[in-house]
């Protein structure tokens, strides 16, 4: 057991929308991800989707509205709700999801689980 420095973990990679697992909590992955530009429209039928902005700004596009987030803000997308994260400039995000939740909502197109 040791402290995890999220900024140091984020310095270890440069690609966007490729989450890195930095720890585990009760069967959930604690992940950091860099976002820039739009991600794909998707949904998670089995779990909610939690976004915590560490740095930058993130918009969560929903079919009926857009939620804008800045550093220190979070938003939970309820399970089954289509959404599309978008970051105009690079943003750093903390995600907490059940282990092996596909980031695209589809295991075939999801980013491979990477632990750092």
pLDDT, tens digit (0-9, with 9 covering 90-100), for 67-99: 999 999 999 999 999 999 999 999 999 999 998
In a domain, 36, yes or no: yes
Residue 102 has pLDDT above 80, yes or no: no
Does this model's pTM top 0.85? My answer is yes
Tell whether 56 is covered by a domain. Answer: yes
pLDDT of residue 5: 97
Terminal Cα-to-Cα distance of the chain (whole angstroms): 15
Q: What is the pLDDT of residues 29-63, one digit of tens each?
A: 999 999 999 999 999 999 999 999 999 999 999 99
Q: Is residue 116 part of a domain?
A: no
Structural domains of the chain, count: 1
User: What is the pLDDT averaged over residues 1-30?
Assistant: 95
State the Cα–Cα distance between residues 87 and 72, nearest whole angstrom.
15
Residue 15 has what pLDDT?
96
- Expressed as residue numbers, the domain containing 91 is 6-98
Query: Does 72 map to a domain?
Result: yes
- 109 — pLDDT class (breaks 50, 70, 90): confident
The Cα–Cα gap between 73 and 70 comes to 6
């Amino acid at each position: 057991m040791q402290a995890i420095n999220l900024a140091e973990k984020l310095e270890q990679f440069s690609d966007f929308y490729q989450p890195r697992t930095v720890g585990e909590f009760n069967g959930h992955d604690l992940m950091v991800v860099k976002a820039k530009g739009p991600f794909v429209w998707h949904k998670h039928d089995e779990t909610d989707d939690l976004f915590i902005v560490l740095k930058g700004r993130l918009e969560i596009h929903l079919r009926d509205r857009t939620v804008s987030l800045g550093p220190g803000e979070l938003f939970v997308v309820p399970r089954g709700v289509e959404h599309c994260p978008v970051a105009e400039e690079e943003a750093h995000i903390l995600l907490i999801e059940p282990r092996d939740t596909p980031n695209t909502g589809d295991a075939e197109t999801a980013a491979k689980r990477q632990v750092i």
